[in-house]
Amino acid sequence: MINLEKLQDVKRRFAEVSQRISKPEVATDPEQMAKLGPEYRELTNVVQAIEGYEKLLQERDDLKEMIRLEDDDEFVKMAKAELDELEEKLPAVEEDLRLKLIPKDPEDSKDAIVEIRAGAGGDEAALFAGDLFRLYDRFAERRGWKIEVMNTSEGTVGGFKEIVFGVHGADAFGTLKYENGVHRVQRVPETESSGRLHTSAASVAVLPEAEDVDVEINGNDLKIDVYRSSGPGGQSVNTTDSAVRITHIPTGLVVTCQDEKSQHKNKDKAMRVLRSRLYEVKMAEHHAERDAARRSAVGSGDRSAKIRTYNFPQDRVTDHRLDGQHKNYPLRKVIDGDLDTLIRALRTADNADRLANL
């Protein structure tokens, strides 16, 4: 049974947001609309579901009252049949409402910035980081998303020591946020003559791409350096001071970008990454308070935790946040970008955890 007091709280919040958003000074303020608009749209759907649920509950109570008071046997029989039908319908309606009551993160609808870094394992870790990038590139292609490489540092024998890229598409962050964490690979490297199994790792960080209204950056807080690009890219890239390094002095965050020939374009990309990192810090503080009573490995975004193992000899991917039959997946399909089933299982587990706390 859903907590009816909780439903009234949602309806009160909807009335409050509706009142605020109708004020001219709010409707013409982009910053306030950016905050209130998504909440208003989400609450509109939730309140419609609440009203439908409450209507069914009222119909059920009316039918029970009719059955109790009515003397006509035929009428009572019809009312009981209608009541039975309604009682069968209620659990599904209630479950749908419970899912709608799960608070949605406003960041979920944003584009994403993904950072992959090679970890333990030397050259093999860099190669694995390259495999992960290709995995996400193929996954994005399947979904009709666009990938925009923002910065790379290549490995000595291939792959990447680090690669940062943007993902543009519907619910990109809300889908890819489950990839946050340490990914581990177990396989025999091509460079290993003895055929010995190696274990390497790469970390994946998924950030919601922040907009200007999300984070205010004071230009006086920035130290911007330009220098000559060191990576591949042709003569025009490597012989001009087009690479950009931005240091955010208050936090010590440093972002570099050197993949573009234009210093202006590199600065623009570096600022987008910096803005998203600062936004992540801001949201982490907010989520720490919100999630104080709920600690879940699924969806927590803890990139220090080992979340997944790619075992090549056994042709198996194991996600350590899942249990039972949902834990293992065919490696070849996953490495080829087929993440849909795995992410669906993670989202279901996350929703179940959230439902338990409603």
CATH of the domain at 244: 3.30.160.20
Q: What integer pLDDT is reported at residue 199 of this predicted model?
A: 92
Give me the mean pLDDT over the 47-58 stretch: 94
Please say which residue of 268, 290, 312 terminates a domain: 290
Range in 79-83, 229-233, 240-244 with the lowest mean pLDDT: 229-233
Q: What is the residue type of 292? A: A
- Mean pLDDT score of the chain: 86
Say whether pTM exceeds 0.75.
no
What pLDDT shows up at residue 317?
A: 97
- Tell me: do 139 and 165 sit in the same domain: yes
pLDDT band at 300 (very low <50, low <70, confident <90, very high): very low
Does position 272 have pLDDT exceeding 60, yes or no?
Answer: yes
- Asked if 203 and 245 sit in the same domain, the reply is no
| Each residue's pLDDT tens digit, 17-46 | 999 999 999 888 887 887 788 788 889 989
Can you tell me the mean pLDDT for 94-120?
87
Do residues 164 and 305 share a domain? Answer: yes
Q: Over the chain, what HEC string results?
A: CCCHHHHHHHHHHHHHHHHHHCCHHHHCCHHHHHHHHHHHHHHHHHHHHHHHHHHHHHHHHHHHHHHHHCCCHHHHHHHHHHHHHHHHHHHHHHHHHHHHHCCCCHHHHCCEEEEEEECCCCHHHHHHHHHHHHHHHHHHHHHCCEEEEEEEEECECECEEEEEEEEECCCHHHHHHHHCEEEEEEECCCCCCCCCCEEEEEEEEEEECCCCCCCCCCHHHEEEEEECCCCCCCHHHHCCCCEEEEEECCCCEEEEECCCCCHHHHHHHHHHHHHHHHHHHHHHHHHHHHCCCCCCCCCCCCCCCEEEEEECCCCEEEECCCCHHHCEEEHHHHHCCCCHHHHHHHHHHHHHHHHCCC
For residue 201, pLDDT over 90 is answered with yes
pLDDT score at 104: 75
Shared-domain flag, residues 242 and 202: no
In a domain, 318, yes or no: yes
Are 197 and 338 in a shared domain? yes
Q: What is the pLDDT of residue 288?
A: 64
Here the CATH number for the domain that contains residue 52 is: 1.20.58
Do 259 and 340 share a domain, yes or no?
no
The fraction of the chain above a pLDDT of 70, given in percent, is 89
Residue type (1 letter), 19: Q
More confident position, 351 or 87: 87
176 falls within a domain: yes
Residue ending a domain, choose from 85, 101, 117: 101
Worst-scoring range by mean pLDDT, 31-45, 153-167, 241-255, 279-293? Answer: 279-293
187 and 318 both lie in a single domain: yes
On whether both 284 and 336 belong to a single domain, the answer is no
247 and 156: one domain?
no
| Residue 195 placed within a domain | yes
Range of the structural domain that residue 314 is part of: 108-209+297-355
My answer on whether 122 and 201 are in the same domain is: yes
Residues 9 and 87 in one domain: yes
- Which whole number is the average pLDDT over 122-148? 95
Which of the pair, 295 or 62, is modelled with greater confidence?
62
Asked if 333 and 269 sit in the same domain, the reply is: no
pLDDT band at residue 166 under the 50/70/90 scheme: very high
Query: Checking DSSP bridges between strand 306-311 and strand 253-257, what pairing results, if any?
Result: unpaired
Query: Is the model's pLDDT at 222 over the cut of 70?
Result: yes
The number of distinct structural domains making up the chain is 3
Domain boundary among 101, 136, 171: 101
